[in-house]
Amino acid sequence: MAIWLVKKVRGNPHLLLIVIGYLTLFMTAFFSNIPAVLIITPIVLILVRSLKLPYLPYLFILVMMANLGGAMTPISDPTTYYQAKTVGLGFMEVLSNSGLIVLLLSVITTIYSLIIFRKPLSKVKVKKSDVALYKPASALKNMRVLYRGTPILVLAIILMISKEYIFSKTGITLDNATIALGSAFFAMLLFHRKPHVVFKQLIDWEIIFFFMGLFVVVGALEFTQVIELLGRSLVTLSHGSDVVLAFLIATGSALLSTFIDNVPYNITMVGAIQAMQAAGISVYPLWWALNLGTSIGGAGSPIAAACNVIIFGQAEKEGYKTSFGHYLKLAMPIILINSLVTFGVLWWRYL
């Protein structure tokens, strides 16, 4: 698909940046952002090297859109998944609330990227002969996997979208994890994968144990009442105002998630908001402020999210290095803009 899109834009560096951005956004929304960037990043690096493009604009838009896409659906990012699972937010509920705001933020982010990188992008002259060398069909290494795997993926997404409707009609409860594991098991049977190969090579045990450890830490914070204290502190600071709380969580989450990993921060804040809810405060807008704020802040630095580490790590292996300070200088303005726009939309829509 990426090669086909490159040919469609005829190697235009500005259009290519837009295409890579939105390809990343929608892939991360429906495939989970870590697998998505593992697929897209090598493609981007190949295009950068072969077409002699400046690497930073494309890495920048890749990081930005991967994190924004993580807020669109409850299957796209660990923070969104945990929040939706803990609070009980459905697929369509997340998509219709966070997803629409993400689309607005993606337009703002794309315009911002085109402005700050206008000089390096304008200097690029891509030869049509170089673009003609790319053959979309040559990228498909295993057509059997494509033809058999795509229907399974589409079915899984349809089930996730319609699980509330299925429950209302049949009383059958479908969980995102159940759907994903069921789809994976069916695919394993279909592709004749041996179970020991799947368990040893294809399951990301590091992420599983990472979440297990985080849940233990969060449980300890709840037991020692640290989370309850954090929730009370936010209420005190806002004087009980829903508007001030939404502002603090949307902008504060974006800024804090820039410098600390957004997963443990999000998990801690979910507990804090639940403590506010137990105190009788209306917290529905705060879930979207937290979800969007942490996803926006996740793009703020090379270490703020796991997908950023993957993107910059792969780029560095290819000789494309980006300093922490330089990236931070480019990212902070759009992080602030997006967090303020998010607060504005939440204020207009809910408060």
pLDDT value at position 129?
61
Q: Tell me if residue 169 falls in helix, strand or coil.
A: helix
Instruction: Report residue 334 CA to chain centroid gap.
Output: 16
Lookup: tokens for 327 = 């990236």
C-alpha distance across the termini of the chain, in Å:
41
- What phi and psi, each to the nearest 5 degrees, are found at residue 162? -100, 10
Cα–Cα distance for residue pair 46/53, rounded to 1 Å: 10
Q: Of all residues in the chain, what percent carry a pLDDT higher than 90?
A: 24
Considering the chain, what is the average pLDDT of its residues? 81
Alpha helices in 171-283 (DSSP H): 176-190, 195-197, 205-223, 226-238, 242-259, 262-278
The tally of CA atoms less than 13 A away on the side-chain side of residue 259 is: 5
Please tell me whether the overall predicted TM-score, pTM, comes out greater than 0.85 for this model.
no
Instruction: Report residue 103 CA to chain centroid gap.
Output: 13
Cα–Cα distance for residue pair 147/142, rounded to 1 Å: 9
Pick 142 or 213 by higher pLDDT: 213
Check pLDDT > 70 for residue 128: no
Q: Which 8-state DSSP code applies to residue 174? A: -
Cα–Cα distance for residue pair 54/72, rounded to 1 Å: 29
Check pLDDT > 80 for residue 248: yes
Pick 314 or 220 by higher pLDDT: 314
pLDDT value at position 6?
67
Give the model confidence (pLDDT) of 230-247 as tens digits: 666 766 777 767 888 889
Q: Of all residues in the chain, what percent carry a pLDDT higher than 70?
A: 80
DSSP 34-100: HHHHHHHHHHHHHHHHHTT--HHHHHHHHHHHHHHHTTTSTTS-HHHHHHHHHHT--HHHHIIIIIH
- Dihedral sign of CA atoms 284, 339, 243, 350 in order: negative
Give the model confidence (pLDDT) of 51-95 as tens digits: 888 999 999 999 999 999 989 988 778 788 888 888 888 888 888
Lookup: tokens for 254 = 């974006």
Cα–Cα distance for residue pair 60/299, rounded to 1 Å: 9
Lookup: tokens for 304 = 């703020």
Model confidence band, residue 268 (pLDDT cutoffs 50, 70, 90): confident
Model confidence band, residue 130 (pLDDT cutoffs 50, 70, 90): low
pLDDT value at position 101?
94
pLDDT value at position 67?
93
Pick 145 or 75 by higher pLDDT: 75
> String of b and e for 178-207 (b: at least 16 CB within 10 Å)?
ebbebbbeebeeeeeeeeeeeeeeeeeeee
Give the model confidence (pLDDT) of 7-52 as tens digits: 677 778 898 899 999 999 998 888 777 778 877 888 888 888 878 8
pLDDT value at position 135?
60
Q: What is the mean pLDDT of residues 174-182?
A: 75
In 3D space, the residue among 185, 205, 208 whose CA is nearest the CA of residue 195 turns out to be 185
